[in-house]
Structure 1
Amino acid sequence: MGKDLLGYRGAKTTFLLVAVCTLAQSMAILLQAKWLAETVSALFAGASLQEQGGTIALFLLAFLLRHGVGAIQQGIAQRFAEQTGTSLRKELLGVLFRRGPALIRKEGTGNVVTLVLEGIGKFRKYAELTIPRMMGAGITPALVWLYVFMTDRISGIILLVTMPILIAFLILVGLAARKQTERQLDSYRMLSNHFVDSLRGLMTLKFLGQSRKHSGSIRQVSEDYRKATMRTLRVAFLSSFALDFFTMLSVASVAVNLGLRLINGSIELLPALLVLILAPEYFLPVRMVGADFHATLDGKQAGEAMQSIIRASRAEETGKPEAAETARNAGAVGFGEAAVAHAATTDRAVTVGTPLSAPILKIKDNSTYRESSRPVFRWDDCSMLELSGVGLRHEEHGPASLQDVSFRIPCKGRIGIVGESGAGKSSLIDLLGGFAAPTAGEIKLNGVKLEEGNRKAWRSGVTYMLQHPYLFSSTLEDNVRFYAPDASDADVRAAVEAAGLIDLVRKLPNGLHEMIGAGGRALSGGQAQRVALARALLGGRQVLLLDEPTAHLDIETEYELKETMLSLFRDKWVFLATHRLHWMRDMDVIIVLHRGRVAETGTHEELMQLKGVYYGLITSQMEGVG
């Protein structure tokens, strides 16, 4: 049993209740054996069945008590497992929503999906079976041995000697099984991630003519998982056989000893029969632990994996403020009055060269930021977004994804984020979405610093759009209502029309009530993105974060979707990270990242005249030079 199981809410109470039930069940086992032995020995001595009617009734009562208490015990463990599994899933999903894409990229999509969908069920089975089994193995053999020892000391000594041998064998088998299960789990994680990555890249592989060649990689990963599973099953079957063999051998030793002593007349039938009945009960709890060990080991591993993700997230969330403060004390410089004055006197966006060069990125409509005597933590038309010396490291001693990023945006608008692969576009989107906390510097909105305490409020105003929007196995209407479950039918239809889905709805047999997602009607990539747009519209949030939203679409579909998206960007804060630079002509300001730093900022025309990093990206793609 893992130590983590004791740390869950309600675990100690559950263990106490199960221990009381196990104690009552053990007493019922002893009474059941006693009355059964008395009945059989009396009948063997010539007593009539009617004379033993009372003893038989007591035996049946003890039998029913044993199994009734066992049912109650299992119900207590099952309720604890259900509540704990639900709580663990809620906590894990909370971490996923807080950490967002950064965690998914780190852990792997397939692994996370497997843990959420299958890991919780395996963990419930582990908690439901482990608690009664461990309590039974700790209490029942001790009481049975004490009763047997008081009845016949020689049999008690034999049982006492054979039990450690059985336990030692269980430990050795457990270590071997754990090693094999960990290998199987690693293979399963690799298979899950590989499968998801293969699905995502299938069109690219087909386009490059590598789809058939990639099938060999899929076959190899699947074969590795098959071999790991077979090794685990081999250990499980062999250990079960060996466990039953040693148990039968131990019981046989007691039986042979009792038989020889009965022949010699050194023991009577009643105590011998009582010991013989109790001997299998003495080993039964340990056998059940061994039998369920393999069935619950994957649940234990899944629980540890989920707890590892949750603990890592907590450590990162609680450790970030200190790390950020240390970084600032070590030389991360914020905005000074000189930098603000310098930026304010410039009509265009200023290229960032040093931490003090923190530009105000002026939007095309030349809106200005009005200082408020009481800063309000919300996104509105005249909010001021400030990033001051922001840095981000996903690992403490790993490379920095972002370094010394500083800029100000004085009002809502369309902000493009571009750069070569690995420049830090997705990392910046994660920071702006509140999914990651900066390891250096600070982020402010209207002068209010983004911290762990207000991160939830920050995210409540943000809508994040992925490359591949997830479509739930439900109706189209329910999918659109994701951010606003209480929205009216009229609002849903209005969002669908604005997102350009109305033609699709008219073609569907059930309209908005058509099932989509897994098991439902399949939608194209462009249609799925339109569903995501309808969600964003219906949610009514002021900020849209888009991380390569059209990267998987063909250029015709992208240009068709672009018209709809641009019309929806007008009244919102929009942060668009993309490597398809034809979008940049429609952006109010562009932030160019290079090796984790802000290299240039400005409009498309200004950056083209500058002929710097942005100009190089444009010319390399041959998109609208001039």
Structure 2
Amino acid sequence: MKPLDPRLLRRARAARTFLAASVLIGIASGALIIVQAMLLAKVIAGVVLQGADVTSAAWALAAVVAGRAVLLWCQEVVAQRSAAAVKSTLRRQTLEHALKLGPVWLSGERSSSLTTLLTKGLDDLDPYFARYLPQLVLAATVPAGVIGWMATGDLIAAGTVVITLPLIPIFMALIGWATQAHSRRRQRALDRLAHHFTDVVTGLPTLKLFGRARAQEAAVRRVTDRHRVASMSSLRVAFLSSLALELLASISVALVAVGVGLRLIEGHLGLETALMVLILAPEAYLPLRQVGLHFHASADGVAASEEAFRVLETPLPERGDRTDVPDLRTTNLQLYDVTVRYPGRDEPALDGFDLEVRPGEVLALTGPSGAGKSTVLAVLLGFIAPERGVVVAGGSAADEFEPSAWRRQFAWVPQRAGLRSGSVADNVRLGQPEASDDAVRLALLAAGSSELELDKAVGEHGQLLSGGQQRRVALARALVTDAPVLLLDEPTAGLDTDTEAAVIAGLRATGRTVLMVAHRPALITAADRSVVVGPRELVLA
């Protein structure tokens, strides 16, 4: 693990501000440490020798101690505010980048892992900014100043510190390698726990239906035990490494103290100088010891930030920046020789697929499950970059246009309706936030859901609605938009015959271009054309 990941400085302005403020505070703290040691040595020597007035030195010492307390408070305030700003920045950037990568990329990620990263994972950056980085700055500034000042009083003691001080970073590096591995194992254990728990909670109704809910207790307990073992292993390494660093620093300070004591007895050093050296010696080792101590507290946050950077550094599909998208109400939409291959699969999902969609027609994509019908919709929306081939509208390739401008031409209803907690009207207005109540009712009517009240409650993931109602609300959300092309993935799944007929009539009444994935015979029959997606594309009149 790098002490300071440069990617944090590039992606978060607050991290750069914090680092600059920490350097200034570190330099000031180092100067006050030296002044404090000089004043303390003067006060003690004056009291012991009983030959000097130490009142002014004592007041100056109190002022220095107060100054160090103020600097510590400033460091804490700057660290906490910077940590909050950096976490907010990383969360926003990671979430925005994940959304730009699209549903296809998200489907390959564990939603629980991404949720854990954006919540608990990045919260672990607090100790990294509040404890580790300030100590890292002190470790880079204080020892050099302290050793330099010690050399003005006792060159031998300063040389002893110079020789023994590098042992601490060496031990820290050795311990850090072990800690990094433990932190990554702990992060993976936490991801597995979150993923398994999410799966169990999501499937709990099915598990209870088949009497298997209690059997999952043992599985959750096993995953929890693995997380507990990984956490305790990290703590064990942290405690042992702290002991090793404390022992090494104590032995080093003892070597300095023995040498100073012998030279003091022989008369080669004065009492005040010897006291100053003895007071400064532990201060040379303290910042490095504290870095090692807080390294463990920050390791989980750094592991989470590395996971965030993995998401952020995933390349986006190459798209243009043109916003003059042709109006698909009057323009043909064409796919030429489109080939798509998903990572980890040998066979292409689409192989040399051609398609032409004319304005205002209703076109059905048919074929066996897994033939690539949903992939066609994903290619049109720009969620997938074809390995070969191109999507063309008005003589221009789709990848020349800015993604959000291109996608405004489409309204998409996926296989699983994405509904959120609220009312029916709230979920329909996700497609058009400014839609009036009348517009929402007309969209519901066209979707065959005229019986649904606008204020009817909808639970998370569409709970409180039947499967068919969820599908129709999602369809109404697409119809309330002014998009000229509707991309529908099995829009009548779960509907009875009469409702399906009402939905088909509503779609035709819109006059829009409709491209739908269809398996049900009534939906295929109602289409103007059907295209079979598979090894051989067959267009039926």
TM-score past 0.5 threshold: yes
Distance in 1 separating the partners of 2:427 and 2:51 = 75
2:54 corresponds to which residue? Answer: 52
Q: Is the 1:386–1:407 contact (alpha carbons within 8 Å) kept by the matching residues of 2?
A: yes
Q: Residue 7 of structure 2 aligns with which residue?
A: 4
| Equivalent residue number for residue 318 of structure 2 | 317
- Give the secondary structure class of the aligned counterpart of 1:482: coil
How big is each residue's C-alpha offset from its partner over 1:39-89, in whole Å with a ceiling of 9 and x where there is no partner? 2322333368xx434323322332333333344445445554444433333
Q: Counterparts of 2:478 and 2:12 in 1: how far apart (Å)? A: 37
Q: Give CA deviations for 1:236-284 in whole Å, capped at 9, x if unaligned.
A: 2322333333333433443444445545554333223223332332222
Q: Identify the residue that residue 176 of structure 1 maps to in structure 2.
A: 178
Letter in structure 1 aligned against 2:7: D
Which position in structure 1 is the counterpart of 2:331?
383
Scaled by the length of structure 1, what TM-score is found? 0.73
Residues in 2 aligned to 1:577 and 1:475: alpha-carbon distance in whole angstroms: 28
Match of 2:529 in 1: 589
Residue number among 38, 42, 49 corresponding to 1:38 in the alignment: 42
Look up the SS of the partner of 2:318 in the other structure: helix
Partners of 2:467 and 2:250 lie apart in 1 by: 62
User: How far, CA to CA, are the matches of 1:76 and 1:232 in structure 2?
Assistant: 28
* C-alpha spacing 1:22/1:593, structure 2 compared with 1 (3 Å): same
Distance verdict in 2 for CA 1:473–1:206, change over 3 Å: closer
Taking the TM superposition and a 5 Å limit, the aligned residue runs for 1:86-97 are: 86-97=88-99
Confirm or deny: 8 A CA contact 1:111 1:193 kept in the other structure: yes
Q: How does 1:140-159 map to 2 (within 5 A)?
A: 140-159=142-161
Deviation at 1:376, TM superposition (A): 6.4
Q: 1:446 to 1:46 in 2, by over 3 A?
A: same
Give the AA of the match of 1:21. I
Cα distance between partner residues in 1 of 2:207 and 2:519? 20
Deviations 1:339-365 (A, max 9, x none): xxxxxxxxxxxxxxxxxxxxxxxxxxx
* 1:583 to partner: Cα distance: 4.2
Amino acid at match of 1:392: V
Q: Determine the structure 2 residue equivalent to 1:114.
A: 116
Tell me which moved more, 458-467 or 214-223.
214-223
Q: CA deviation at 1:182?
A: 1.6
CA gap of 1:493–1:583, structure 2 versus 1, over 3 A, is: closer
Offset of 1:437 from its aligned partner? 1.4
**Partner residue, 1:617:** none
In 2, the alpha carbon distance for the partners of 1:515 and 1:117 equals 25
Q: 1:210 to 1:44 in 2, by over 3 A?
A: same
Q: Secondary structure at the match of 1:312?
A: coil
Contact 2:328 / 2:409 at 8 angstroms: preserved in 1? no
Which amino acid in the other structure matches residue 428 of structure 1?
A: V
CA contact (8 A) 1:114 1:192 kept: yes
Other-structure match for 1:609: none
Give me the identity figure in percent. Answer: 32
Residues 271 and 104 (structure 1 numbering): CA distance in 2 closer, same or farther, change over 3 Å? same
- Report the residue type matching 2:23 in the other structure: A
1:445 maps to 393
Give distance in 2, aligned partners of 1:583 and 1:297.
56
Alpha-carbon distance in structure 1 between the residues aligned to 2:303 and 2:492: 37
**Displacement of 1:378 after TM fit?**
4.1
Say whether the 8 Å CA contact 2:83–2:130 is kept in structure 1: yes
Q: CA deviation at 1:139?
A: 1.3
Q: One-letter code of the match for 2:241?
A: S
* Aligned residue number for residue 133 of structure 1: 135
Matching of residues 181-580 of structure 1 within 5 Å: 181-201=183-203, 217-263=219-265, 265-314=267-316, 316-317=317-318, 377-395=325-343, 399-451=347-399, 453-472=401-420, 479-487=427-435, 511=455, 516-517=459-460, 525-526=467-468, 528-547=470-489, 555=494, 562=500, 565-566=503-504, 569-570=507-508, 571=510, 572-577=512-517
Q: Distance in 1 between matches of 2:279 and 2:204?
A: 63
Q: Helix, strand or coil for the counterpart of 1:107?
A: coil
Verify the 8 A CA contact 2:458 2:464 in the aligned structure 1: no
Q: Per-residue deviation at 1:591?
A: 3.1
2:25 match: 21
Mapped partners of 1:398, 1:124: distance in 2: 44
**8 Å contact 2:341–2:387 — kept in the other structure?**
yes
Structure 2 Cα separation of the partners of residues 284 and 96 of structure 1 = 42
Q: Which amino acid aligns with 1:36?
A: L
Shift in Å, 1:390: 0.6
1:14 deviation in Å?
4.7
What secondary structure does 1:238 align onto?
A: helix
Question: Which structure exhibits the higher relative contact order, with contacts defined as CA atoms closer than 8 Å and separated by 6 or more residues?
Answer: 2
Contact 2:168 2:289 in 1 (8 A): no
Q: 3-state SS of the aligned residue for 2:19?
A: helix
Deviation at 1:450, TM superposition (A): 0.8
SS in 2 for 1:96: helix
Given that 1:187 and 1:228 are in contact with CA atoms closer than 8 Å, whether structure 2 keeps it comes out as: yes
C-alpha deviation, 1:408, in angstroms:
0.4
Measured at CA, do residues 478 and 41 of structure 1 come closer, stay the same or move farther in structure 2, by a change above 3 Å? Answer: farther
Scaled by the length of structure 2, what TM-score is found?
0.83
- 1:431/1:437 contact within 8 Å kept: yes
Deviations 1:513-546 (A, max 9, x none): x79549x986655555455345434444334434
Deviation at 1:452, TM superposition (A): 5.4
- 1:184-203 alpha-carbon deviations (Å, 9 max, x no partner): 22233333344444455555
1:126 Cα deviation after fit: 3.5
- Counterpart CA distance in 2 for 1:6 and 1:46 is 54
Alignment CA distance shift 1:56-1:98 (3 Å): same
Which of residues 602, 619, 622 in structure 1 aligns to 2:540? 602
Do the aligned partners of 1:468 and 1:549 also contact (CA within 8 Å) in 2? no
Distance 2:224 2:529 in 1: 47
Distance verdict in 2 for CA 1:432–1:192, change over 3 Å: farther
Distance 1:567 1:95, change over 3 A: farther
Give structure 2 stretches of 5+ with no counterpart.
none
- Given residue 11 of structure 2, which amino acid in structure 1 is its aligned partner? Y
Deviation at 1:142, TM superposition (A): 1.6
Does the 8 A contact of 2:124 with 2:301 survive in 1?
Answer: yes
Q: CA 1:453–1:385 in structure 2 vs 1: closer, same or farther (change >3 Å)?
A: closer
382 and 262 in structure 1: CA distance in 2 versus 1, 3 angstrom threshold: same
1:69 partner SS: helix
Shift of 1:125: 5.2
Structure 1 535/90 Cα, relative in aligned 2: closer, same or farther at 3 Å? farther
**One-letter amino acid of the structure 1 residue matched with residue 232 of structure 2:** M
Q: Label 1:499 to 1:423 Cα distance change in 2 as closer, same or farther (>3 A).
A: closer
Backbone CA RMSD of aligned residues: 3.8
For 1:82-111, what per-residue CA distance to the aligned partner results, in whole angstroms no more than 9, with x for missing partners?
Answer: 444333333322322222211112222222
CA distance in 2, matches of 1:174, 1:550: 57
Query: Take 1:204 and 1:601, find their aligned partners in 2: how far apart are those partners?
Result: 41
Distance in 1 of aligned mates of 2:91 and 2:343 = 25
The CA deviation string for residues 205-244 of structure 1, in whole angstroms up to 9 with x for no partner, is 6667766666655444444333323322322232233333
Aligned equivalents of 1:114, 1:424: Cα separation in 2: 32
When residues 541 and 132 of structure 1 are mapped into structure 2, their CA distance, relative to the original with a 3 A threshold, is farther
Structure 2 counterpart of 1:68: 70
SS in structure 1 opposite 2:402?
Answer: helix
**Structure 1 residues 524 and 397, CA gap change in structure 2 (3 angstroms):** closer
The whole-number CA distance in structure 2 between the counterparts of 1:564 and 1:280 is 83
Q: 1:241 to 1:455 in 2, by over 3 A?
A: same
Quickly say closer, same or farther: Cα 1:213–1:254, change in 2 above 3 A.
Answer: same
> In structure 2, what is the Cα distance between the partners aligned to 1:537 and 1:260?
90
